Structure 1
């Protein structure tokens, strides 16, 4: 007797076993992929070749280096004065350009004070001179008459008083005093006219026509158009780079100075010389001040614009030339005072150097590397002593070749 299986039970068993079968197959496939991927990755790793970084080097060479010193300062007129009247009175006349920024020439009338009182004084002084001269002439005549009478009637030696000698000296002295008063009155009259002592500009004024002035009152500030001066502070550690020793030739022994400032869209330049230095260090900042003079700085010509008082300028003072220093690009410096060279085996060598100057684009090295060494200037951000490198410019070294790691 044949018994047929129940179809619903078989289907149920199949549904239960199918997920486990699929899970087993999935796990087997995943294991196979992981195993073969690891082998493939290992094979790729074995084929990868680690190339050394490519660097650019420069050959260290001794060269003539001028140790210029940088400074800065404010432009000031070499000659600047306060205009001060020596007499009192009301202002009755003024120069058309007597205003801030106005230009004048030497000898031109800047201001005139009412001079009528001083003219009266001159007239009275003339009268006093005339009277004193008259009295002197009369005294001389009386002295001659006294001497004649004594010779005719006198007995013995006459005294000086009898001969009118002291009286004559008194009259001579009074005449001299009257003439001195006249000269003083004329001088006061002349001082009513305030004339320009040089060619220049009015920087400031504090007076108007019609205003009453007192003697000794500061009424304006004037400066000459000849030369400008700039006080340049110099740190003590920079003094060794400059020749600031005066010579018998005056300022001929002092260094040149290049000045620059931004005026509008253009960088303007001027040139001058150091003419003197301060006699001692400044108490506040322990700096020595060198005074630079720029001749004709306030005059405009076709090649340059004029300087103005108060302009801030940057200065480059010509330093002493040295022949035993090495100049390198700024990019060669690592860690403040370290550079790396490439040896004949293509490895980096660390050098701690003594820097004399750390400028914007270059460094000046005094000690730490030798002439002819190949110094790394770019190509590696984190160099390590002993690291192998490859040169991007191998033509810079004739007898040294960087060896590429295998």
Structure 2
């Protein structure tokens, strides 16, 4: 049976090889498919040169340009106050806001007047005595007299005492005038800290007041957007700085959005060392004037600001959806193939990109239709985004 063990495997292997050859030789022919996968359909927008005004958005809080602490310069009891001397009260320039009891200061004026009268009397008497001494010396014919004999030092003393008495009278009258605290400008009371009947010390703050002629808003501007604004940087050699760009302020008040107009008048001295921003100051004149379309621009109101920027005619505006992978967009060439471009983005807004370089006018830019575009991919333009053309 030894020959069976040797020949049986050889027979099985030969049969398997013959069967494989038969299968290969007689396999059915595969019919080719009719056509491949069609190119994807895409939406494009046409890149166009536009003249754009590069407005800069900012925000800030309204504050008065002039705000001071009203301080008593004399001590005494408050005997009268202005009807508008309350928080929020309006007053005019020159209005007497608060009056301090003046009687002590009136007494001081009377006393100073008496001292002036006495000093003037002493001076007149000394002048008469000096004249008499001069005449007597000349009658004696004794030569040149010294100053003491002619009463010259005495006259100088009397004149100095009169001048001192008149200065005391002027000081007494000045203190009396300070019993009435008058408004140095037309404005409004923010906070009062004294009332009628209260005794106030010299140097005490009796109120905080601010002017209502001009309001200001500090507006932070990122350093990379300063180039879009014609800001008054106030160079040291500028004789008269030019007016800055206009500003539109918006705020919600009483359930409505209101707008006010202002203008940038200056920039602050340096960049903020924490944020790297430059603060521009917008000025709004007569913020409390009546206007039928909006309420007063009250101090403390938070506002959104739009600063008018410079116009540029070398920029391209495309939909924001055209941006892929950071700073890349794809254009469709004449053969309907995608070509990748690296672009310089000047500004990114809610629904658009403002491109400074990397695109040419009238190029077709891919907007949608492909999630992962590939450079050189064949496409079919299905639609053109609004504002574009194929």
Q: What TM-score comes out, normalization by structure 1 length?
A: 0.81
Cα distance between partner residues in 2 of 1:208 and 1:395: 67
Give the superposition deviation at 1:250: 3.7
2:58/2:220 contact within 8 Å kept? yes
Give the superposition deviation at 1:112: 0.3
Give per-residue Cα distances to partners, 1:288-324, cap 9 Å, x unaligned.
2211111112333123221111222222222222221
Q: Judging changes above 3 Å, is the alpha-carbon distance between structure 1 residues 243 and 394 closer, same or farther for their aligned structure 2 residues? A: closer
Give the superposition deviation at 1:368: 1.7
Cα distance between partner residues in 2 of 1:172 and 1:317: 66
Cα distance between partner residues in 2 of 1:336 and 1:353: 9
Q: Among residues 46, 67, 90, which one is paired with 2:54 in the alignment?
A: 67
Cα distance between partner residues in 1 of 2:174 and 2:107: 13
1:225/1:299 contact within 8 Å kept? no
Q: Judging changes above 3 Å, is the alpha-carbon distance between structure 1 residues 51 and 114 closer, same or farther for their aligned structure 2 residues? A: farther
Q: Among residues 294, 304, 322, which one is paired with 1:304 in the alignment?
A: 294
Runs of 4+ aligned structure 1 residues displaced above 6 Å come to: 46-51, 394-398
Give per-residue Cα distances to partners, 1:55-79, cap 9 Å, x unaligned.
4332111111222222222111111
Give the superposition deviation at 1:377: 3.3
Cα distance between partner residues in 2 of 1:378 and 1:268: 38
> In terms of mean alpha carbon deviation, does 64-73 or 87-96 score higher?
64-73
Give per-residue Cα distances to partners, 1:346-405, cap 9 Å, x unaligned.
34333221111011222110112111111233455554441523322499888x6xxxxx
| Greater share of residues in helix | 1
1:89/1:114 contact within 8 Å kept? yes
Give the superposition deviation at 1:341: 2.4
Match of 2:311 in 1: 321
Give per-residue Cα distances to partners, 1:88-113, cap 9 Å, x unaligned.
11111111111111111111110000
1:228/1:297 contact within 8 Å kept? yes
Show the 5 A alignment for 1:158-169. Answer: 158-169=145-156
Show the 5 A alignment for 1:253-292. Answer: 253-292=243-282
Match of 2:136 in 1: 149
Cα distance between partner residues in 1 of 2:101 and 2:155: 40
Cα distance between partner residues in 2 of 1:379 and 1:221: 63
Cα distance between partner residues in 1 of 2:306 and 2:385: 37
Cα distance between partner residues in 2 of 1:231 and 1:78: 11
Q: Judging changes above 3 Å, is the alpha-carbon distance between structure 1 residues 239 and 304 closer, same or farther for their aligned structure 2 residues? A: same
> In terms of mean alpha carbon deviation, does 80-89 or 225-234 score higher?
225-234
The structure that has the greater radius of gyration is 1
Establish whether residue 216 from structure 1 lines up as the match of residue 203 from structure 2.
yes
Give per-residue Cα distances to partners, 1:141-191, cap 9 Å, x unaligned.
111111111112251211111111111111111111111111111111010
Report the 3-state secondary structure (helix = DSSP H, G, I; strand = E; otherwise coil) of the residue aligned with 1:187.
Answer: helix
> In terms of mean alpha carbon deviation, does 268-277 or 251-260 score higher?
251-260
Establish whether residue 201 from structure 1 lines up as the match of residue 188 from structure 2.
yes
Give per-residue Cα distances to partners, 1:206-260, cap 9 Å, x unaligned.
1111111111112211111111111222222222222224485745342222222
Q: Among residues 336, 339, 349, which one is paired with 2:339 in the alignment?
A: 349
Q: What TM-score comes out, normalization by structure 2 length?
A: 0.84
Q: Among residues 121, 125, 129, which one is paired with 2:116 in the alignment?
A: 129
Cα distance between partner residues in 1 of 2:155 and 2:116: 16
Cα distance between partner residues in 2 of 1:395 and 1:139: 103
Q: Judging changes above 3 Å, is the alpha-carbon distance between structure 1 residues 265 and 361 closer, same or farther for their aligned structure 2 residues? A: farther
Show the 5 A alignment for 1:4-403. Answer: 54-244=41-231, 245-246=233-234, 250-385=240-375, 386-393=377-384
1:246/1:253 contact within 8 Å kept? no
Residues paired across the two proteins, number: 355
